[in-house]
Amino acid sequence: MPVFTNVARRRSRGLARGQGAGTAGGWKDCGMGLWCRRPTLESWESVRWTKAALWLRDPSHTVRGRLYLTEFRLLFEPTRFHSKGWHWYALLHQISSVGVEGSNFLPRPGGLPLRLRIDLTDGRAEFLVVNHLEQVVEVIGPAIASSST
């Protein structure tokens, strides 16, 4: 079995300089493919927006993956390493609001960053950690508003 250097590995995958792991287009970008699975969509659905996220499943368990917005659903797909059935989705009309949650949710040293709070019509709330939180709320909020009309 040959041993590849990073340069040889990039070239064998057809990637240019700067496109290896940890850069845009690499594994940390976590587009659909090697690290993140493609979401299971209905035939009439398509992905309108996607963002890397950390789902706070309960106070002691987090799942790394990707948040997807389609025409009808908001869904979370875990990475291949968190593949024990920890999927989550909600139809857009089942989401009452999205917003920002303060940093006192989990009792951990140093606290947590601000989180995306998704309030559902049945009274439950889901929490996710995402980068550029205000932009995420600006994307998901109008999608929820347009689905409820």
pLDDT surpassing 90 at residue 94: yes
Does residue 124 surpass a pLDDT of 90? yes
Beta bridge partners of 138: none
Question: Would you call 143 helix, strand, or coil by DSSP?
Answer: helix
Model confidence at 13: pLDDT above 70: no
Q: How confident is the model at residue 110 (pLDDT cuts 50, 70, 90)?
A: low
| Interval 34-91: pLDDT, tens | 566 778 888 889 999 999 998 887 777 788 889 999 999 999 988 877 656 578 899 9
pLDDT the model gives residue 42: 86
- What's the CA gap between 119 and 99, in Å, rounded? 8
Give the Cα separation of 143 and 123 in Å (integer).
Answer: 20
Strand order in the sheet with 61-70: 88-91, 73-78, 61-70, 47-58, 125-129, 115-120, 95-101
Over residues 108-137, the mean pLDDT reads 87
Sign of CA dihedral 81, 85, 88, 91: positive
141 touches 98 (CB < 8 A) = yes
31 contacts: CB under 8 Å, gap ≥ 6:
25, 50
